[in-house]
A and B are shown apart, each in its own frame.
Chain A
């Protein structure tokens, strides 16, 4: 039987990898190719790369860099950031990226979700939903790297996206990002109950126990950044990933 997937989620800023806290204060981690090689050696379940500046800088994915990444990457790979049309989707496929992570595009151009799913299959289309709690305690979907409120409610948006052809929902809590205090389990549970496609939890994981909690809340996969790149209270950069035995034990 399968074990839920555990996915390092890496943020690209320019040619380097960074890690944010609540989508702010990007801390430089290192060269993406080196880090991909380490994750490849550790046989991670899957990797997700998000270019956090592509949309706000109004540019396309950095295909040259992604080509270098895919040639070192022998696990499923998702990429998000600046994907605007089917040309981008086809180019990503041709260089070996098989999951397209759509965030701003999914809100501003939902027909791309359908077109990408028709072309490459639903399993290739991951909708990333960045969620922040408003002053009134309600969940709201944000786009453009967490900068733009949309007024959309995440559970309803996730259901709509599934109808459009999304194969996975990647739900990320802006408030928990980089805090390592645990996922927003309430949010994960609400989304997981509303959709039938797999839900990937992101935002807040600090240890393997947190990953298990996300799965218990209904996630099919748990993604994390900080816990795979930082070590100790001073947050020194050290790439790590649990062993298969540790994962099997913690998340049966």
Chain B
């Protein structure tokens, strides 16, 4: 079973619904025993970086999930702030991130010409696949996803960038390295495109 790590943050109902539509069972849980049994993990997240990181630490689940992901190589998909938590840290706060990606989370910074762009980046935007990975297999060229975020990730390691998206600047919208993958957008709210991506995670990412 896919377990959605429930640390009190994120829209778990939507993620569960989309996996169900894709033909997979995904259940939210905060029980270490259930999480240890998971075939795959989802790390959700919305809102502020520090609030999410603190709540995740308070549950005591960080070492449990960390061991599964880093040592047992259990596939994990971070969504939105869930992806940001996988970086070294965020300009939004002072908490240390999980550091699973050699990447930072920074605020959108636009040049004068694009200064009128609204933050958060909210709405449907296209992704441009930069590197082949099971997570992005078969996504059509015009794939669009629902984004809502004020900070974005920047990978120092280019080989981890699976897809990019344009919003005033070029952002790294999907990161992936082996069993660890993450998306800045919300596949659970992105029609057939999100369905394909979650299906890929369930079937192909190992």
Q: Which A residues are within 8 Å of any B CB, using their own CB? A: 1-5, 40, 43, 45-46, 70-71, 73-77, 93-98, 118, 120-124, 167-168, 196, 198, 220-221
Further pairs besides A4-B123, A70-B17: 17, Cβ < 8 Å: A1-B125, A43-B191, A45-B123, A71-B17, A74-B21, A74-B194, A75-B146, A75-B191, A77-B189, A93-B12, A96-B11, A97-B13, A98-B11, A98-B14, A124-B46, A196-B119, A220-B118
Known: A74-B190, A123-B148, A198-B118. A221 touches B123 (CB 8 A): yes
- Name B46's contact: one of A5, A45, A121, A221 (CB within 8 Å): A121
- Please state if B189 and A76 are interface contacts (CB–CB under 8 Å): yes
- Please state if A1 and B166 are interface contacts (CB–CB under 8 Å): yes
- Please state if B167 and A2 are interface contacts (CB–CB under 8 Å): yes
- Name A3's contact: one of B14, B124, B186, B190 (CB within 8 Å): B124
- Please state if B18 and A5 are interface contacts (CB–CB under 8 Å): no
Main secondary structure of the interface of B (DSSP, over half): mixed
Q: How far is the CA of A205 from the CA of B157 in the complex (A)?
A: 47
- Name A93's contact: one of B11, B51, B186, B195 (CB within 8 Å): B11
B48 at the interface (CB under 8 A from A): yes
Q: How far is the CA of A161 from the CA of B153 in the complex (A)?
A: 29
Hey, which chain B residues are within 8 Å of A123, CB to CB? Answer: 46-47, 120, 122, 148
Q: How far is the CA of A196 from the CA of B191 in the complex (A)?
A: 28
Q: Which B residues are within 8 Å of any A CB, using their own CB? A: 11-14, 16-18, 20-21, 46-48, 51, 118-125, 146-148, 166-167, 186, 188-192, 194-195
Hey, which chain B residues are within 8 Å of A96, CB to CB? Answer: 11, 13-14, 16-17
Known: A94-B12, A94-B13, A95-B13. A5 touches B191 (CB 8 A): no
How far is the CB of A80 from the nearest CB of chain B, in Å? 17
Hey, which chain A residues are within 8 Å of B18, CB to CB? Answer: 74
- Please state if B11 and A74 are interface contacts (CB–CB under 8 Å): no
Hey, which chain A residues are within 8 Å of B167, CB to CB? Answer: 1-2
Q: How far is the CA of A120 from the CA of B148 in the complex (A)?
A: 13
